[in-house]
Amino acid sequence: MLKSKTFLKKTRAGGVMKIVREHYLRDDIGCGASGCAVCDGAHEGPVLELQPLDRASSLCPQPHYLLPDTNVLLHQIDVLEDPAIRNVIVLQTVLQEVRNRSAPVYKRIRDMTNNQEKHFYTFTNEHHRETYVEQLQGENSNDRNDRAIRVAAKWYNEHLKNMSAENRLQVIFITNDRKNKEKAIEEGIPAFTCEEYIKSLTANPELIDRLACLSEEGNEIESGKTIFSEHLPLSKLQQGIKSGTYLQGTFRASRENYLEATVWVHSDDEDNKEILLQGLKNLNRAIHEDIVAVELLPKHQWVAPSSVVLQDEGQNEDDIEKEEERECILKTAVNEKMLKPTGRVVGIIKRNWRPYCGMLSKSDIKESRRHLFTPADKRIPRIRIETRQASTLEGRRIIVAVDGWPRNSRYPNGHFVKNLGEVGDKETETEVLLLEHDVPHQAFSQAVLSFLPKMPWSITEKDMKNREDLRHLCVCSVDPPGCTDIDDALHCRELENGNLEVGVHIADVSHFIRPGNALDQESARRGTTVYLCEKRIDMVPELLSSNLCSLRSNVDRLAFSCIWEMTHNAEILKTRFTKSVINSKASLTYAEAQMRIDSAAMNDNITTSLRGLNKLAKILKKGRIEKGALTLSSPEVRFHMDSETHDPIDLQTKELRETNSMVEEFMLLANISVAKKIHEEFSEHALLRKHPAPPPSNYEILVKAAKSKNLEIKTDTAKALADSLDQADSPIFPYLNTLLRILATRCMMQAVYFCSGMDNDFHHYGLASPIYTHFTSPIRRYADIIVHRLLAVAIGADCTYPELTDKHKLADLCKNLNFRHKMAQYAQRASVAFHTQLFFKSKGIVSEEAYILFVRKNAIVVLIPKYGLEGTVFFEEKDKPNPRLIYDDEIPSLKIEDTVFHVFDKVKVKIMLDSSNLQHQKIRMSLVEPQIPGISVSADTSNMDINEPERKKKKLQK
């Protein structure tokens, strides 16, 4: 029998489309009862028992089957899974509703219908001629479905009367909906609530404990452990913040531990600047970067930041016991000094959701539309989405947006936005890291390009106004190999009076980018050039970055020059600033410049200039270090690419030469000189850069690590730190000093741009300078363009404009620049990480020496000097017995069985690419030496199967 429904639908274009839906009804669908003569042989798979005598219900003593509605299946799944509950009829109507509302519950029901011992039978009531019901006019879909369930229950009771008297059975309708139950009883259907029925099973009192308590609305589970506390309304939050009951701040999730976060409080109160949150319920559905209201917990409930590394492995919505076990792991016995102000999220003031890149974790349920999406950013929780194209999207990077996070859901809900491409593909992964770090990377618009100079371009008389001609000077640039955006050039010559003249010449980008036009606005938005391993995302169009502004050799270029007269001992006698025209005589790499300085055979003007610069730079550096400037270290890597495939074929730490330091010294000197000048002229609206001194607590890890090697690090001042780092040497362990400097770098605060009129503290801690700015890289930093404009006004070389002297607008600009610089840094690190993975994918498994940087509760973080690579060696693995671990935060140390690990200990590790998680492919490290039975692996790389993760993946797909 065929039923059809026709209706008209309006299209997006405004047209009308006729839609015809056909629905087939059959009369050969079996009821599932094994003793039914009418339906004999019509049903396949597990069937209902002929004599279900296992349940003794005081409400219904005779043999019966159960027929639950949707809410009972959704909310009482724990009860239904109990072995005592058998012979249940699952209607197609109910199953479809469950599938739409909860994929994990749907999967669990499917598992039960496939279990022969449970005798759960799926009845296709929507296609049975006698149980199909059409939606009535004015009836909503919920009421229609309720009626369809009652019709099926009534049909069953009538149908089973055909069985012999000794096998006569009843079907009991189980519902928690009061109105639905009343209607069923009126229609002669035996109906009970789930609680009534379970309590009537006197032989199984333990089932009552498994009942979920429903709230009065009947739509949320009160006792379900995944339920979060309700968010307070905004009016109550605002009152609480005003009265001091709650604190407002930015929610920052942890990358290493999904059960931990901090809230940076928006207030001047130094005591509670950072609030620690631990455990799912205290995080209360806040997502990274949300503005939240937190309630401070009583002091006896304060905790210490956890040393455990925990990743969310995507438990089922109901699998919360594991979460609670994991939360217990976080709580550790610590001394009171380690305790931090601890709180819980009571409400959300502003959601800062963005579209997230990641991958689909396809549901195990066939034809399920509900799946979990795993974001690439580990600080973002998994997101539940509905999609019909799961098979197509599997193994691809996609973008998903969050829609909301219900109280009774372990994960937020969202929707699919865009398919980016195949995972692992270089273009796709680059796109992902740019999107994830919010790096503007679209092509420059026509509106922006329209403000570029017309080609061919040459210097005109108008350009020479207020500009000195310095083309006669022996100027040269020194940069990394392959650099095309040359910002700076240098010169050094002896004056007739015996003193030296030193010049730093910087590309005059502000000549080409005029305030307020589309090119200026786009440069300000981008804030910085982003350097990836194989790609550069320019802040300004290429015509400027690699041509007209780039101080290439043997071409005339506009510059902004900072010129000093110095003694041979690098004492500054005079400083002057001028707009200029230069003609660079050579574009050298650091290596070429070093070779010229070192070669006795070379004595030309360029080489003489370089030697003079190098000599002065050494004196300047010595003077800076004596004042307390820090010489820190951070392992930087350089990839050697295959010229055809552009895949990395070698990975080395960057070699730093004297010439690197030479250029750096003069750039620092120019930045300090310009900072003083613009602050003299514009005390209220100079754009400066400061580096705050770290709080003493930041240094704890460094001090403890040094102490474990019998060294003392003093951290009272930058000078004390610099001196103690210089003295922290070990003849038997030469690399120790580098490790200490790397660790000291991790203790530092982030340097930031600020407006002088909005702050009192100008000091740059790392450089030990009372004032500092950025002037020397305007091709790649927008801050430098603003500084150029300020300096040009200060020397009368250009005119001012209103925004330049508006400190509030300048403060907003600084905020964006700080954000863009931080994101660029993260994007660069992500690019290095991705190319490192590509390198080890082709390299295979290697064993290398490493040093411990940090010890955690269940892992050690190591640095491999050869590759400048950092990684974590975990000592607790799934499906393996856990070793005996003793973590001591005071030393710090980690004892594994009978071996103790301290920071800076030398170990040997095995490095390989772990592809078991396509989403987060990572470099996996295992301990080789020292040898610990059951923990260490063999140094032999041939016996490890690099494809093991792939095999695991195939197994899962079966």
Decide if 879 is inside a domain: yes
- What pLDDT band is residue 44 in, cutting at 50, 70 and 90? low
Q: How far apart are CA 263 and CA 256, in angstroms?
A: 16
**Mean pLDDT of the region 228-240:** 91
> Which CATH number covers residue 299?
2.40.50.690
CA angle 741, 744, 748 (to 5 degrees): 135
The residue to which tokens 């295992």 are assigned? 926
Give the rounded percent of residues in the chain with a pLDDT score beyond 90: 40
By the 8 A CB rule, do 263 and 343 touch?
yes
30 belongs to a structural domain:
no
The tens digit of pLDDT for each residue in 843-858 reads 888 888 999 988 888 8
| Residue pointed to by tokens 């935060």 | 889
- Asked if residue 72 belongs to a domain, the reply is yes
- Tell me which DSSP letter residue 296 carries: E
Verify that 304 and 353 share a domain, yes or no.
Answer: yes
pLDDT digits (tens, 9 = 90+) for 542-597: 999 999 999 999 999 999 999 999 999 999 999 999 999 999 999 999 999 999 99
Q: Which two tokens stand for residue 490?
A: 């240098």
Q: What is the pLDDT of residues 757-768, one digit of tens each?
A: 998 889 999 999
3-state secondary structure of 265: strand
Q: Does residue 1 have a pLDDT over 90?
A: no
pLDDT level of residue 46 (50, 70, 90 thresholds): low
Q: Tokens at residue 70, please?
A: 């949707």
d(CA 665, CA 487): 15
Strongest mean pLDDT among 25-39, 486-500, 871-885, 888-902? 486-500
Question: 26 lies in a domain?
Answer: no
Compute the average pLDDT of residues 229-249. 91
Q: What value does the mean pLDDT of the chain take?
A: 84
Task: Choose the most confident range, by mean pLDDT, from 322-331, 801-810, 833-842.
Answer: 801-810
326 falls in which pLDDT band (50, 70, 90)?
Answer: low
Confidence at 315, pLDDT banded by 50, 70, 90: very low
DSSP string covering 48-64? B-SS--S--BSS--S-E
In 3D, which of 509, 503, 511, 512 has the Cα closest to residue 471?
503
358 & 456 share domain: no
Element (H, E) at 793: helix 782-794
**pLDDT per position as a tens digit, 855-888:** 888 889 998 888 888 888 888 776 677 788 888 8
pLDDT at 331 over 80: no
What CA–CA distance (Å, rounded) separates 107 from 363? 9
Can you give the length of the chain in residues? 958
**Mean pLDDT value across residues 916-926:** 77
Q: Classify residue 33: in a domain, yes or no.
A: no
Question: Do residues 477 and 590 both lie within one domain?
Answer: yes
State the burial class of residue 328 (Cβ atoms within 10 Å of its Cβ: 0-12, 13-18, 19+). Answer: exposed
**Residue 903 confidence (pLDDT) above 70:** yes
Residue 433 covered by a domain: no
Residue 893, pLDDT score: 87
User: Which whole number is the average pLDDT over 887-914?
Assistant: 87
656 φ/ψ angles, rounded to the nearest 5 degrees: -100, 130
Q: What's the whole-model pTM score?
A: 0.68
Q: Which of 58, 68, 52 lies closest to 194 in space, CA to CA?
A: 68
25 touches 127 (CB < 8 A): yes
Same domain, 922 and 866: yes
Count of structural domains, the chain = 5
Distance from C-alpha of 13 to C-alpha of 824, rounded to nearest angstrom: 42
Structure tokens at 569: 């001992």
Q: What secondary structure does DSSP assign to 67-133, as a single string? A: EE-HHHHHH-HHHHTSTT---EEEEHHHHHHHHHH-HHHHHHHHHHHT-TTT-EEEE-GGGBTTT--
pLDDT at 533: 86
The answer to whether position 36 is within a domain reads no
Same domain, 818 and 869: no
Report the CATH number at residue 909: 2.40.50.140
Indicate left, alpha or beta for 595 from its phi (over 0: left) and psi (-120 to 50: alpha).
alpha
Residue type, 49: E
381 with 488, same domain? no
Cis preceding-peptide flag for 930 (omega within 30 of 0): yes
SS3 437: coil
> Residue 686 is which amino acid?
A
Taking Cα atoms as reference points, which of 923, 903, 925 lies closest to residue 914?
923
Residues 6 or more apart from 673 whose CB is under 8 A from it?
562, 564, 575, 577
Can you give the CATH number for the domain in which 176 is found? 3.40.50.1010
| Statement to judge: residues 479 and 579 lie in one domain | yes
User: For 643, what's the count of Cα atoms within 13 Å in the CB-facing half-sphere?
Assistant: 0
CA distances from 735 to 448, 710, 869 (A): 50, 15, 15
Q: Judge whether residue 657 has pLDDT over 90.
A: no
What is the distance between the alpha carbons of residues 630 and 795, in angstroms, rounded to a whole number?
Answer: 33
Residues 722-731: b if buried by 16+ CB within 10 A, e if exposed: bbbbeebeee
Decide: 184 and 152 in contact? Cβ < 8 Å.
Answer: no
Please indicate, yes or no, whether residues 702 and 586 belong to a single structural domain of this protein. no
- Under the banding of pLDDT at 50, 70 and 90, the label for residue 381 is very high
Does 5 fall in a domain? no
269 and 175 in a single domain? The answer is no
- Do 158 and 182 share a structural domain? yes
- pLDDT-derived band at 631 (thresholds 50, 70, 90) equals confident
Judged against a pLDDT cut of 60, whether residue 73 lies above it is answered with yes
Percent of the chain clearing pLDDT 70 (strictly above): 85
What pLDDT is stored for residue 219 in this prediction?
A: 38
Which segment of 33-42, 71-80, 782-791 scores lowest on mean pLDDT?
A: 33-42
Final residue belonging to a domain, choices 418, 438, 467: 418
Strands (E), 351-471: 356-361, 370-375, 383-386, 396-404, 413-422, 467-469
Domain extent at residue 277 = 234-311+321-418
Residues 732 and 776 in one domain: no
Which of 400, 418, 436 is the endpoint of a domain?
Answer: 418
Higher pLDDT, 76 or 323: 76
For the residues 530-549, what does the mean pLDDT come to?
92
Mean pLDDT over 488-499 rounds to 95
On the question of pLDDT at 775 being above 90, the answer is yes
> Two tokens at 83?
């072995």
pLDDT for res 56: 74
Phi, psi of 264 (to 5 degrees): -90, 110
Task: Choose one of 165, 195, 210: the last residue of a domain.
Answer: 210
Give the pLDDT score at 266: 83
- Dist. CA 68–CA 172, nearest whole Å: 8
DSSP 327-346: HHHH-----GGG-B-BEEEE
**Alpha carbon of residue 329 to chain centroid:** 23
Note the pLDDT of residue 951: 40
Contact between 858 and 880 (Cβ < 8 Å): no
Is residue 213 pLDDT above 50, yes or no?
Answer: no
Query: Binning pLDDT at 50, 70 and 90, where does residue 735 land?
Result: confident
Sequence-separated contacts (24+) of 890-898 with Cβ below 8 Å: 890/335, 890/704, 891/704, 891/708, 892/701, 892/704, 892/705, 892/708, 892/854, 892/855, 893/708, 893/855, 894/855, 894/856, 894/857, 894/860, 896/932, 896/935, 897/932, 897/933, 897/934, 897/935, 898/932
Question: How many whole angstroms separate alpha carbon 62 and alpha carbon 122?
Answer: 23
| Opening angle at CA 604, ends 600 and 608, nearest 5 | 75
The SS3 of residue 602 is coil
Give the mean pLDDT of 220-246.
77
- Of 44 and 173, the structure prediction assigns the larger pLDDT to 173
CA distance 915 to 423: 11
Per the structure block, which two tokens stand in for 51?
């004599």
Per-residue confidence (pLDDT) for residue 945, from 0 to 100: 45
Residues 782 and 661 in one domain: yes
- Number of Cβ within 10 Å of residue 894's Cβ equals 25
Please state, in angstroms and rounded to a whole number, the distance separating the CA atoms of residues 507 and 549: 6
Reported as a pLDDT band with limits 50, 70 and 90, residue 946 is very low
Task: Point out which residues pair with 848 in neighbouring strands.
Answer: 909
Judge contact between 132 and 155, C-beta under 8 A: no
Report the DSSP beta bridge partners of residue 924: 912
Please compute Rg for the chain using Cα positions: 35
The 8-class DSSP code of residue 546 comes to I
**What is residue 228's three-state secondary structure?**
coil
- pLDDT at residue 643 above 70? no
User: Alpha-carbon distance 784 to 529, whole Å?
Assistant: 12
Phi, psi dihedral angles at 487 (to 5 degrees):
-80, -35
